[in-house]
Structure 1
Amino acid sequence: MTGEELTGALRGLSHRYWGTHPFHRRMHAGELTAAQLRLWAANRWYYQCMLPQKDAAIISNCPVPEIRREWLARIVYHDGPADGADDGGQERWLRLCEAVGLNRDEVLDERYVVPGVRFAVDAYVTFARTRPWLEAIASSLTEMFAGHLMRQRVVDLLAAYPWIRREDLAYFTNRIDAVSGEGKSTLDIVVRHATTRDQQDACVAALSFKCDVLWSMLDAIERAASDE
Structure 2
Amino acid sequence: MTLKILIIIPCYNEQVSLPILLQEINTLSLPTEYELDKIIINDCSKDKTSEVAKANGAKVLDLTCNLGIGGAVQTGIKYAIKHNFDFAVQMDGDGQHPPSELIKLLEHQKLTQADVVIGSRFIDKKGFQSSFIRRMGIRYFYGLNRLFTQKSIYDSTSGFRLLARKALNLAAINYPDDYPEPESLVIFSKANLSIKEVPVTMRGRLGGKSSIGSGASVFYGFKVSLAMLFSFIRN
With the length of structure 2 as denominator, give the TM-score of the two structures. Answer: 0.27
When Rg is computed on C-alpha atoms for both structures, the one with the higher figure is 1
User: Relative to total residues, which structure has the larger strand share, 1 or 2?
Assistant: 2
User: Relative to total residues, which structure has the larger helix share, 1 or 2?
Assistant: 1
| Greater relative CO (CA pairs within 8 A, separation 6+) | 1
